[in-house]
Chains A and B, each alone.
Chain A
Amino acid sequence: MPEQLTAEPRPARRPAASPQVDPAAPGSYDGPVAQPISKDDVAHVARLARLALSDDELEQYTSQLAGVLRHAADIEALDIDNVEATAHPFPLVNVLREDVPTPSLDRDEVLAQAPEVDQERFRIPRILGEAP
């Protein structure tokens, strides 16, 4: 007997700056959104995104992101208790395809795009660290 199909109640408000960041992770941001973002936060996010930012760029992005967060704070301040949470801007659910194979790409063509190929595989430099 399938239970009633209703979504888990979702928190009406969540920190807009860092939706789902593990609070234990260094530099994670889960304080009130009005709190300005620090340069360290930006450096952390940049590192995660593998962006090499200069000190000037860090300053610049910190101030820009603080502006974005202030905007988020404005939205957070709205009374949305009577607004239903949506997962997507379009009123669509269950966009599905049948489980039918379609042609894959030609392997030679695919591997020709790779910087290096070995034994029909993508050859990549030494990996530092294990898969997460």
Chain B
Amino acid sequence: MSDDTLSGWEVVVGLEVHCELRTETKLFCGCRNVFGDEPNTNVCPVCLGLPGSLPVLNKQAVEYAIRIGRALHCRVQPSMFHRKNYFYPDMPKDFQISQYDVPVNADGWLELPSGKRVGIVRAHMEEDTGKTTHVGGGGRIHGAAHSLVDYNRAGVPLVEIVSDPDMRSADEARDYVDELRAILVATGASDGKMEEGSLRVDCNVSIRPQGSTALGTRCEIKNMNSLRSLGRAIVYEASRQVEVLSSGGSVVQETRHWDEADGRTHAMRSKEEAFDYRYFPEPDLVSLAPSQEWVRAVEDALPVLPAERRRRVAEAAGVQAGSEPVATVVRLGLDALVMATVAAKADAALALRRLANEVAGQLAESGVHDIDPDAFVRLVRMEHDGELTSAQARTVLKDFVADGGDPKAIARQLGFEAMGSQELAGAVETVISANPKEWERFSCGDDKLVGFFVGKVKAATGGKADLRAATEMLRRRRGA
């Protein structure tokens, strides 16, 4: 976020993330939970809200909720379900079963890659709504002639994760969602796909004078369907509020709709009773009180989560846990390769650099990889030991990541036979005799000139020289 637009102001962001759970069936009935099925094929009396039907809670959904809760360091507590009453055609019952004053998970935190902790207020269970499609009016609700409803999604299990207003920029909000998504995927509770709507983000944005600790009036922004639009919406909304306050107005607490096309937030048509949901305990469900044994078993089965993986990689490579390369390799799931390098007692710092730069760049588009750790470690060794120059190693790495194979064989195929040390020594001698003045100064201690000579050696050998070996050779030669 640019400081120009917000000079003197601080933006405060809290996020509400809905995530669909990867269960086989819905939260309260045995209909399948599948994205993209033919409309209205996964519906039954319970999720259609037919009279006389009764909900029964899905055990696997509870387990996923506990996984999420413990992964976010929440207290898992006895909880109950409430009815949230409202009239809208996406919920045929005219109420949504949700959790109200006693959610299953409360009071946790999430650690961003930067090391900052964001508080988690709660992570509660509820059911998803059906999907409405607006016909006419360009697919927008306003001006639509009528709407169509598919109830396949009605009743799909959700966990809603509510953060404290702890984020201070659009970037931090994006980092939070990124990290949360990584945690959700790691626990197996959700596939984290924003594009399929299995992860949906609403954000609360307010601003306050720099240095102030009081919270300003917030607006809730809905309808962001990517991390990019989340960032754009926060930046826009913060500057809108700055403008309102700077011109003597006051921010009205309201829900605003992000419009991706015009890059603005718009006040949604306000309804006078919009927030009066008349919650009351769902009489058809009993309390949920997971036993300590169950919670402990779920927790013990959790995988190593991203924050801990970052700590391990950072320690292995001897860098800061909050550093960018560490965050990158963990985000892309490449950290196992760093750990394999450490286990093989090879150069983990070099492995981290290559993974965070070259490999990450290469994977940016596909995002998937199938890299053999042993072969990768061999390649790291080849570069470390000077069998390949940095430039050569990067070329081999590229082919290796794309097609797999044995790094040595790839190097041979590319003609990257290591330049023999005799050949290199010859090149070094040639360069020294061609530049006697510079050599004199270098010999007298002007160490900056090492770069000059290494550059000459590189040019003279057509880039085939191992520059690290050349540097060592030059220093040894000077000392002789």
Contacts and interface: CB of A to CB of B under 8 A. Distances in A.
A107 B41 contact: yes
B61 A94 contact: no
B45 interface: yes
A124 B135 CA distance: 10
A28 interface: yes
A105 B30 CA distance: 11
B276 A2 contact: no
B59 interface: yes
Interface string B145-161: 11111110000000000
Contacts of B147: 123-127
A78 interface: no
A110 B45 CA distance: 9
B56 A132 contact: no
B383 interface: no
10 A-B pairs closest in CB distance: A102-B30, A99-B60, A121-B148, A96-B59, A2-B295, A25-B276, A20-B279, A122-B149, A93-B289, A92-B286
A92 B278 CA distance: 25
Contact of B286 (A5, A26, A28, A94): A94
A6 interface: yes
Contact of A87 (B32, B281, B291): B281
Given A5-B290, A20-B279, A104-B43, A121 B59 contact: no
B48 interface: yes
Contacts of B89: 122, 124, 127
A119 interface: yes
B150 A130 contact: no
Nearest to A8: B102
B340 interface: no
Contacts of A87: 80, 281, 286-287
B77 A8 contact: yes
Contact of B101 (A20, A21, A100): A20
Interface stretch (B165-173, B207-215, B265-273, B330-338): B265-273
- Chain B interface helix/strand/loop/mixed: loop
A7 interface: yes
A126 B100 contact: no
Interface stretch (A43-51, A54-62, A67-75): A43-51
Contacts of B135: 118
B70 interface: yes
B161 to A, nearest CB: 18
B269 A95 contact: no
A3 interface: yes
A25 to B, nearest CB: 4
Nearest to B80: A87
A93 B285 CA distance: 9
A5 B293 CA distance: 11
22 contacts: A3-B75, A7-B77, A25-B273, A25-B276, A47-B273, A48-B276, A87-B287, A93-B287, A94-B290, A99-B24, A102-B30, A102-B44, A110-B40, A110-B43, A118-B148, A121-B40, A121-B150, A123-B147, A127-B144, A129-B141, A132-B86, A132-B274
B43 A105 contact: yes
Contacts of B288: 93-94
B77 A19 contact: no
A100 B100 CA distance: 27
A100 B25 contact: yes
Contacts of A22: 275-277
Contacts of B31: 101-102, 104
B114 interface: no
A126 B281 CA distance: 31
B197 interface: no
A98 interface: yes
Given A122-B89, A123-B148, 10 more contacts: A7-B78, A8-B106, A22-B275, A50-B87, A96-B58, A105-B44, A120-B38, A123-B146, A124-B89, A129-B141
A96 B275 contact: no
Given A48-B278, A96-B57, A99-B25, A121 B149 contact: yes
A100 B61 CA distance: 12
A119 B39 contact: yes
Contacts of B85: 48
Contacts of A100: 24-25, 30
Interface string A1-41: 01101111010000000111110111010000000000000
B40 A122 contact: yes
